[in-house]
Amino acid sequence: MSLGGLLAKLAGGGVPTIEHDDFARVVADKSAAIVDVREPHEFAAGHVPGAINLPLSSFAPSQLPNGRPVVLICQAGRRSAKALKQALEAGVKDIRHYASGASGWQSGGGATE
């Protein structure tokens, strides 16, 4: 196993994730669609700037934006991981999730709207 493969395994079995600094860059330069899979009332209470809301309770990978990378986010990483699994199983490419979630984003100084 390569070092990269080992690190991916240690970081969650190869689940496509994005780290805080990279996520902050993506939010700032709008280089990816940010999809928040929390419920509408959670989203309304504060979300990453520019994010769209596709709640996990009614999530369908076919609803994801096309033509650009997608980053999924929820409150703490569990729901976005579930949505990521569904998307990958449906054949969606260029998608990952921010495992730290909205709570990690805010505790790291990230703005919300």
Report, as residue numbers or ranges, the catalytic residues. Answer: 74
DSSP assignment string, 45-111: T---TT-EE--GGG--GGGS--SS-EEEE-SSSHHHHHHHHHHHHTT--SEEE-TTHHHHHHHTT--
**Cα(95)–Cα(71) distance, rounded to whole angstroms?**
6
